[in-house]
Amino acid sequence: MPQNRIYKFSDIFEAQSFLNGAIFGGNIANGVFGLVGQVLTFIRPAFAVTFTPARGPEPERLRFADIKEQIESKSDAISVHQVGGRLFFLEKTPTDGVALSANDEVAKGLLGFDRAGSVVGRFYKPSTIAGGAPPCYEWGYSVNETTHVLVTWE
């Protein structure tokens, strides 16, 4: 049964990306160890990436720029972002939302996603366009420059 959900974001781009089907991982501001040789499998859009060593003095630590480059080089349909250190993936042309495989993948866990289950973004239409059919967003507001709230029906 559908229900209302409330989501809070610290950045307007983050809130907008959520509505457009982004999926959000963890904070990778200090880089990630252990990704080299690991596979990350996307279902939407469909592709996989096997992470390779970074250039520079610490090849085993993949920083945001390395992760972004390696993922975006495998698919021209996805963009990789970071806000306040938090990693997220977004379709370049939002349609259905980004989704990671349900496979138990080490890379998912290292990037801050649920390792053992599906990770699925949803594309939310305004309720006036969706006719109230979930998933849609009902309304949103900003308290200040750092607090953005969305109410969805899903």
CB 110 within 8 A of CB 40: no
**Domain residues of the chain, as ranges?**
1-20+124-154, 26-121
Q: What is the pTM of this model?
A: 0.91
> In a structure prediction context, what are the per-residue pLDDT tens digits for the chain, which is 154 residues long?
889 999 999 889 999 999 999 999 999 999 999 999 999 999 999 999 999 999 889 999 999 999 999 999 999 999 999 999 999 999 999 999 999 999 999 999 999 999 988 999 999 998 888 888 889 888 888 888 788 999 998 9
> Where would I find the beta strands (DSSP E) of 73-146?
78-83, 86-91, 99-100, 119-120, 125-126, 136-144
116: left (phi over 0), alpha (psi -120 to 50) or beta: alpha
